[in-house]
Amino acid sequence: MVWSGFKKIGLYKPVREEVQDMFAKCEDCKQWVSRETLEKAYNVCPRCGHHATIPAGTRIELLLDAGTFEELFRNLEPMDPLSFRAKRGYAERLQEAQEKTGMKDACIAGVGKLGGREVAFGITDPEFLMGSMGSVVGEKICRITETAVERNFPLIFVSGSGGGARMDEGMLSLMQMAKTSAALSRLHSSGNLFVSVLTNPSMGGAMASFAALGDFVIAEPKALIGFAGPNVIKQTIRAELPNGFQRSEFLLEKGFIDMIVERKDLKRTISRLLCYCDGKARNSVARNRYS
pLDDT in tens, 234-268: 788 887 877 888 899 999 999 999 999 999 999 99
Q: Distance from first CA to last CA of the chain, Å, rounded?
A: 44
pLDDT at 161 over 50: yes
Question: Which has more confidence, 21 or 175?
Answer: 175
Tell me the backbone φ, ψ of residue 121, rounded to 5 degrees. -140, 140
What span, in angstroms and rounded, lies between the C-alpha atoms of 29 and 97?
Answer: 28
Q: Quote the CA–CA distance of 55 and 125 in Å, as a whole number.
A: 6
Residue-wise pLDDT tens digits, 72-85: 999 999 999 899 88
Domains and CATH numbers, the chain: 1-52 (no CATH), 54-290 (3.90.226.10)
Amino acid at 248: S
Q: What's the confidence (pLDDT) of residue 7?
A: 52
Task: Kindly give, in sequence order, each residue whose CB lies less than 8 Å from that of residue 291, ignoring residues fewer than 6 positions away.
Answer: none
pLDDT at 102: 92
Residue 64: CB partners within 8 Å, gap ≥ 6? 112, 113, 114, 119, 121
Question: For 144-157, what is the mean pLDDT?
Answer: 96
pLDDT reading at 290 higher than 50: no
Which burial class, exposed, middle or buried, applies to 106 when counting CB atoms under 10 A from its CB (0-12, 13-18, 19+)? Answer: buried
- The mean pLDDT value of the chain amounts to 87
pLDDT above 60 for 225: yes
Distance CA(174)–CA(64), nearest Å, equals 31
pLDDT above 70 coverage of the chain, percent: 89
Share above pLDDT 90 across residues of the chain, in percent, rounded to a whole number: 63
pLDDT higher than threshold 70 for residue 280: no
**How far is the C-alpha of 267 from the C-alpha of 62, rounded, in Å?**
7
Backbone angles phi, psi at 187, to 5 degrees: -65, -45
Amino acid at 28: D
